Amino acid sequence: MAVLGLGLIGGSLLLRLAADQASSPGSPGSIGYDADPETRAAVAQRLGPSAVAPDLAAAVDGADLVVLAVPLPAVPIVVAALRDVGYRGLLTDVTSVKEPVRAIVTAELPDARWVGGHPMAGKEASGFDVADPELLAGCAWALCLDNGTALADWLDVARWVLGLGGRVTPLTAIEHDAAVARISHLPHLVAAALTTGAAAEPVGPAALGLAAGSFRDATRVAATRAALTAAMCGGNAAALITELDSLVERLEEARELLTTTDPVSALTGWLETARAIRHEWPPHGAETRTPLTRHDLLALGRAGGWLTELHADAATAVLPKSVHPPT
């Protein structure tokens, strides 16, 4: 198993794989590679020199699974390098946007068996320094099941993610990108806008001095390295614009309610819709079994469900209580 890119996510993954191997020596070995020599040195110091390859070719040589864990702007470079060394095996990635990765891999590395992935885990800090072997434990992990994905490959990667303790959500790349635009990329943009707005004249310094819990949480991810947030938002621009427009429409609704003669009553109903949804989150639901067909797996993912265990002919899954979408 080769992990290419050893920042927060790739580094956390390599730490976890190394821990698994230490506790169960029969499990498959793993090796990491990062283009940055200082990162490689830090990883070697923490996990030993054999945990890091000196170059990409050495990392992927003989690997059954290659995990791309570089930010989106570096994906074309690493995919080209994989093409140059003739890699044709199973390939997954942990990038926060899936459709652009699908396009790059399909064009540049058509012989690799790519199954796009996205573990929903992160921190506002980045880099191997803050990597944590527990970061991915129990996290929701989207795995793309597109028309071009071989079901057998998808199940192989799903089995690997389940082994890491992830919750596997089957979705198409486009569905994934629409979902994360609203629950990750949009909150990142909003956090930045709230932060900049808080500091603006007038009353900026006083506002920042009084700001407490609601500001702290609403803006936490605004502390993320700007280049990382820009890469994920910019890489999903079309879906994000759709979500931005919906948000602005909802805020204009609230504005309208604030101008009525009884804004408190008017806002109560508008806020109660959100409260009821937030109260039921994170989703919980009943255990079920899902046949291992493309159709059934995607139906599960679209309903907000996830796999918890794979068997020979079916999967154990959780199907959340349906949330009634607001009208």
| Helix/strand/coil for 289 | strand
Segment holding 255, helix H or strand E: helix 237-258
For 254, phi then psi, to 5°, come to: -65, -40
Q: Please count the residues of the chain.
A: 327
* Residue in 213, 295, 311, 313 binding its own copies, rule: CB under 8 A: 213
- Among 26-34, 83-91, 214-222, 288-296, the segment contacting its own copies (CB under 8 A): 214-222
* Residue in 44, 57, 74, 190 binding its own copies, rule: CB under 8 A: 190
* Residue in 74, 237, 296, 314 binding its own copies, rule: CB under 8 A: 237
Nearer to its own copies, 57 or 190 (CB): 190
Under rule CB under 8 A, residue 195 binds its own copies: yes
* Residue list 47-106, contact with its own copies (CB under 8 A): 73
Under rule CB under 8 A, residue 26 binds its own copies: no
Alpha carbons within 13 A on the beta-carbon side of 245: 6
24: left (phi over 0), alpha (psi -120 to 50) or beta: beta
How far is Cα 160 from Cα 143, in angstroms, rounded to an integer?
Answer: 11
CA angle 310, 313, 317 (to 5 degrees): 40
Nearer to its own copies, 67 or 222 (CB): 222
How far is Cα 5 from Cα 318, in angstroms, rounded to an integer?
Answer: 32
Task: Indicate the residue type of 174.
Answer: I
Query: Please, are residues 28 and 17 in contact by the beta-carbon 8 Å criterion?
Result: no
| Helix/strand/coil for 258 | helix
Q: Mask: binding to its own copies, 123-162, rule CB under 8 A, as x and -?
A: x---------------xx-x--------------------
- Among 39-47, 86-94, 144-152, 178-186, the segment contacting its own copies (CB under 8 A): 178-186
- Among 31-39, 98-106, 209-217, 307-315, the segment contacting its own copies (CB under 8 A): 209-217
Enter the DSSP assignment of 225. -
Nearer to its own copies, 109 or 300 (CB): 300
* Residue list 266-305, contact with its own copies (CB under 8 A): 266-275, 277-279, 281-283, 301-305
* Residue in 10, 32, 117, 122 binding its own copies, rule: CB under 8 A: 122
- Among 74-82, 87-95, 145-153, 179-187, the segment contacting its own copies (CB under 8 A): 179-187
Q: Which two tokens stand for residue 140?
A: 């929701």
